[in-house]
Amino acid sequence: MNQYNPSQIEAKWQNYWQKHKIFAAEFPSDKPKYYTLCMFPYPSGSGLHVGHPLSYTAIDILARYKRMKGFNVLNPMGWDAFGLPTERAALREGRHPATITTENVANFKHQLLKLGFSFDWDREISTSSVDYYRWTQWIFLKLHEKGLAYLAEVPVNWCPAQGTVLANEEVVDGKYVETGEPVERRMMKQWMLKITAYAERLLHDLDDLDWPAGVMEMQRQWIGRSEGAEVSFAIAGTEKHFIVYTTRPDTLFGATYCVLAPEHPLVESITSEEKKEEVLRYVEAAKNRSDLDRQASKEKTGVWTGSYAINPVNNERIPIWVADYVLSGYGTGAIMAVPAHDERDHAFAKTFSLPIIPVISTPEGHNIQEEAYTGDGTAINSGSFNDMDVHTFKRAIIEWLEEQKLGTGKVNYKLRDWLFSRQRYWGEPFPVVHTEDGNVHALPESALPISLPHIDAFKPTADGQPPLARAEEWLHTTWNGQKAVRETNTMPQWAGSCWYYLRYMDPNNNLAAFSPEAVSYWKDVDIYIGGVEHAVLHLLYARFWHKVLYDCGLVPTKEPFRKLFNQGMILAYSYRDSVGKYYHPSDVEKRDNQFFVQGTDTEVFSQVEKMSKSKKNTVDPLDIVKEYGTDTLRMYEMFMGPLEQVKPWQSSGCKGIRNFLQKVWRLFVDSSGQAKDFSTANRAVRKALHVAIQEADQGFSVMKFNTPISKMMEFINTVKGTTPDKKTSEIFIKILSPYAPHIAEEIWSLWGYNNTLAYEPWPIFDPSALIEDEIQIVIQVQGKLRARINVAATASKEEILEIAKNHENISNRLEGKTIIKEIFVPKKLINFVVR
Ligand code: ANZ
C-alpha cells in the first residue's frame, strides 16, 4: 500500500471504533465530564447534505480533543423524529409516518457513520419511540401538576388545507410557510403552557450564559419586558371606565384620543346607536387579520365609537376609537394615544385629522405636525409637571396616579403562553382523558406510556376532529368507573427537543426519564452547537422546561446549555436560466466565461444560494467521501473559513486538503506501506510543531478550526520531506487526529501501537520551542575582537553581558581592571572599555 488510500483506511477504523465502542461515555466515572452536543437532526427524506456535517465535525473535533485532555466526553446523537413534514410525506406517498421515519433514520445513520464522527451510538435516541416519549408525557404531567399546563379557548392559526393549527412562526402573510396554503383565525380549545410565569427568570438568567450576543438579544426581544403604568380612563356620561397600558405615562397630557382593540369587551356597550353598524363591520373584518399583520401594516384603519373618555390628568374629553393596530392580547387591549410622541398614533392622527399636542420638548426645527418625536426631553404643556426631565416625570406621575387611585406602575412582557397542542397524528399523545361530565383529568404516572395508536388515515375527521378521533379502540376508556375519551390532540414537535439532552445522560433507563446520579454527574451541556434559526423557540422552550425541572428538584442546574455556538450556513452555487429553471451543476458548462446548459446555447447564471433540492444545488457528503475520503471532507469543512461565517461550498476546494493528507501519508509511510525511519531532532521543525499546537489549543477555546489547519500545513512544509524525529512525529499525528482521525489512527498503528490514539494525552505546548534560533555576538575588549558567543535571540542585555563577562577569553582580560564603559550593540556586539 504505497498510496494514501482513504476508502480502505476509513472503513477499517470506523469498524474498529464501532466494534470496540471506543467513544462510549463512561458512567460512573472519576474523570471530569465534558458534554458536547449538536442540535439533533430532523430525519427528512432528502438525507444529509454537506451543510449538516459542518457543526457535527466541529463538535467532533472538540470532543476528540477533550478526550485526549483527559475528560470523560459525552457526545451523543439522535433523531427529532415526530413532526408535520413526515406526516405530509406519508399523505403524499400513501405510507405510514412510522415507516418513513424508520427509513429516514436508517439513511441518516448510514451517512453519519461514514463520516467518522465519534458519537456514542449506544445513547442514540428517537423522540418518536415510545421509550422516549413516555418520559415526554411524564414531564407534561409535572407541568400539569404545577399548574403550568391548562386548557383555554384561544385564537389559533387554522389551516383548513392541512386540517391543523399552526404556530405563529409557521404563518407568514396569512399563509402556511411550507405550502403557501391560506390560514385563518379561529377560536379553539387548546392546551397551553404557562411559559409567561417564567418570563422574568428566562430573561434574568440569560446574563450568566456564554451565548452569542445576537441570540441573547433575540431572546430578550421575544420576552419583551417593558416598564410603564396602567392608567384608568372614565367613559364620559357613564359609570364605566377602562384601563390602558402605557410605557410613557409622562406623555399623559398629550393623549388626544384613546383606542380599544376590536376584541375589547367594552366596544359594543360604549358604541353609540349611529355608529353601531360601522363599528360592528370593522370588528368583524379585523377578526381575520393576524397580530403580526395588524402590527406590520403601515396604513392605519379605525372607527370612532361615538363615545368620549376623560383624561384623568386634565379632565379633557377625548374620543374613543376602535382600531386594529391595538392588539387584544397585549397590555390591557386599550391605549391612550399620544400622536406627538408615538409613530403609530401619529400616522393614525394624520389619517383621521386628530389633534397632535407635544408634551415633551423637541429639538430645534422639529415639526411635530409632520413627524412624531420619540426622544428624551423635558415636560411641556403638562401643568405642574412642566420642566421635569422625562425620567423624573415618569416616576412622579406614577406616584401621583397611585395617590389618586387612578393607576399603578406595571411591568409587561411580550411573551405569550405557549400553544401546546396540534391536531396532528405524528406527535406525542397527551396523558389526559375527558370524562362525560365535561371534566379533564391528567392520568397518573402509572398509566404511562400512552402509546400512539396505529392508524392509516392522518387527515382530521370530517367534523374537524384530530385524526386520533378515528382510533376508536384507543379513544374510549374509563376514569374511576366513568366513561371517558382520551385527548385527541398531540404535542407539537418542540416537545421532544425540550429535554432530549437530559435523556442522553441516561438513555436506556426504563424506570425514570434519567437517574438523579446521571444528571448530577453530567449536569448540563458544556457546549451546544446549532443553527441560528433556533435562536428563540427551541432554545427558549428548552430553557423553560429545564427551569420547571429545576423547580421540581430533578436537575441540579438552572440552565441547560452553558455555552452556545452558531455555525454559519454553507451555501452552494446554483445555475438558473432566464426563465428561472434550475440546472444541476453537472449539466452546466463554461464557454468564454459564460455558463451554458451542456451542448446547448441556453445561457445560465450562477448564484450562491441556500442548498435545496428544488435549486438542484445540494451536495451529498457521501459523494465527496467517495471521491476524496472522509478525512478530507472533515478538514475541508473546517478549512473553508471561520465556523460562524456563511460561505459557499466548492467541491474542488477538497483537492488542496487531499494533497495535504497525501503529503502527511508520504512523510511517514514508505512505498511498501511501512512506517519510515525517524530522523534526528531539528529546531525549526520543533518550532513549527509547537506553533501548530499553540494554534490548535487556542482554536479549541473559541471554536476556531481553520487556522490550526494552516499551521499543520506549514509544519508539513517546514519538514521538507524528511521524517522528523520520533517525538515530533508522534506529536504531529496527535494534533492532526481530531481533524483527520482515520489517517492518524492508521499511521499510529503503523508505528506499532495496538491501541486507538483517541485517549492518548494531548501534547503540551512548549513556549521555549518558539524562541528564534540563537544569534552570535562579537565581544571586544578595548575595541579588539576577543570572543564570539551564541545566545538565544530573546536574551536580554543583562543576560548577554553576564555570559560575556564569564567567557574565559574575556574574564581573564577583565580581571583586576575597572570597566569604565560597556558598549552594547543589540544582536551584534559588546565592547568593554577598561582601565
Ligand atoms: C402612550 C404612549 C406614548 C406610548 C408614547 C408609547 C409612546 P411596548 O414597549 O411594546 O410595551 N400599546 C399598549 N398596549 C398596546 C396594545 N395592546 N396594542 C398596541 N399597542 C399597545 O409598548 C407599549 C406601548 O405600546 C404603550 O405605550 C402603548 O402606547 C402601546 F409617546 O402609551 B404607549
Residues 116-139: tens digit of each pLDDT: 999 999 999 999 999 999 999 999
Residue 233: what pLDDT? 98
**Sequence-ordered list of residues with C-beta below 8 angstroms from that of 456, at least 6 positions apart, any chain:** 96
CB 333 less than 6 A from any atom of ligand 1: yes
pLDDT in tens, 459-518: 777 677 889 999 999 999 999 999 999 999 999 999 999 999 999 999 999 999 999 999
Rounded to 5 degrees, φ, ψ at 591 are: -135, 130
Q: Is the CB of 107 under 6 A from ligand 1?
A: no
Q: Is 295 in the pocket of ligand 1 (CB under 6 A)?
A: no
pLDDT at 87 over 50: yes
* pLDDT above 50 (res 1): no
pLDDT at 127: 98
C-alpha span between 485 and 432 (Å, rounded): 9
| Number of alpha helices (DSSP H) and beta strands (DSSP E) in the chain | 26, 33
Report residue 329's pLDDT band, with 50, 70 and 90 as the boundaries: confident
Distance 328 CA to ligand 1 centre (A): 12
The rounded mean pLDDT for the chain is: 94
Beta carbon of 342 within 6 Å of any ligand 1 atom: yes
Task: Provide the grid cell at 762.
Answer: 494531548
Q: How far apart are the first and last CA of the chain?
A: 73
What's the gap in Å between 154 CA and the centre of ligand 1? 23
Instruction: pLDDT band for 313, please (50, 70, 90 cuts).
Output: very high
Strand-by-strand arrangement of the 564-566 sheet: 72-74, 33-38, 527-530, 564-566
Residue 247 beta carbon below 6 angstroms from any ligand 1 atom: yes
**Percentage of residues in the chain with pLDDT exceeding 90?**
85
Whether 331 lines ligand 1, by a CB cut-off of 6 Å, is yes
Per-residue pLDDT, 435: 97
List of residues 6+ apart from 189 with CB closer than 8 A: 151, 152, 153
- Output the pLDDT for position 169: 67
Look at 290-294, 792-796, 826-830 and tell me which has the smallest mean pLDDT. 290-294
Shortest-distance atom of ligand 1 to CA 329: 17
pLDDT recorded at residue 462: 67
Instruction: Find the helix or strand (DSSP H, E) in which 750 lies.
Output: helix 741-750
User: Which letter, b or e, does each residue of 415-445 get, where b requires 16 or more Cβ atoms within 10 Å of its Cβ?
Assistant: bbbbbbbbbbbbbbbbbbbbbeeeebbbbee
For residue 505, what are the contacts with CB-CB under 8 A and spacing of at least 6? Answer: 74, 514, 518, 519, 521, 522
Q: Which of 226, 246, 338 to mutate to test the pocket of ligand 1 (most atoms within 8 A of CB)?
A: 246
Residue 184's pLDDT band, with cuts at 50, 70 and 90, is: confident
Contact 356 CB / ligand 1 (< 6 Å): no
pLDDT of 684 above 90: no
Q: Is the pLDDT of residue 379 over 90?
A: yes
Q: Alpha-carbon distance 286 to 343, whole Å?
A: 21
Angle of CA points 610, 612, 613, to nearest 5°:
160
User: What secondary structure does DSSP assign to 95-153, as a single string?
Assistant: S-HHHHHHHHHHHHHHHHHHTT----GGG-EETTSHHHHHHHHHHHHHHHHTT-EEEEE
- Could you give the CA distance from residue 589 to residue 599 in angstroms, rounded to a whole number? 8
What are the structural domains, with CATH classification, of the chain?
A: 22-130+494-525+538-566 (3.40.50.620), 141-194+417-486 (no CATH), 226-412 (3.90.740.10), 572-654 (no CATH), 668-770 (1.10.730.10), 774-834 (3.10.20.590)
Predicted pLDDT of residue 9: 96
Alpha carbon of 389 to ligand 1 centroid (Å): 20
Q: What pLDDT sits at residue 288?
A: 74
Query: Which residue's CA is minimally distant from atom 9 of ligand 1?
Result: 226
- Looking from the CA of residue 338, the nearest atom of ligand 1 is 3
Kindly indicate the confidence band of residue 256, based on its pLDDT and cuts at 50, 70 and 90.
very high
pLDDT in tens, 142-152: 999 999 999 99
Segment 763-767 mean pLDDT: 94
For 818-829, the three-class secondary structure string (H helix, E strand, C coil) is CEEEEEEECCCE
- Res 293: pLDDT: 77
Identify which has the larger pLDDT, 139 or 154. Answer: 139
Cβ atoms of residues 241 and 233 within 8 Å: yes
pLDDT of residue 2: 61
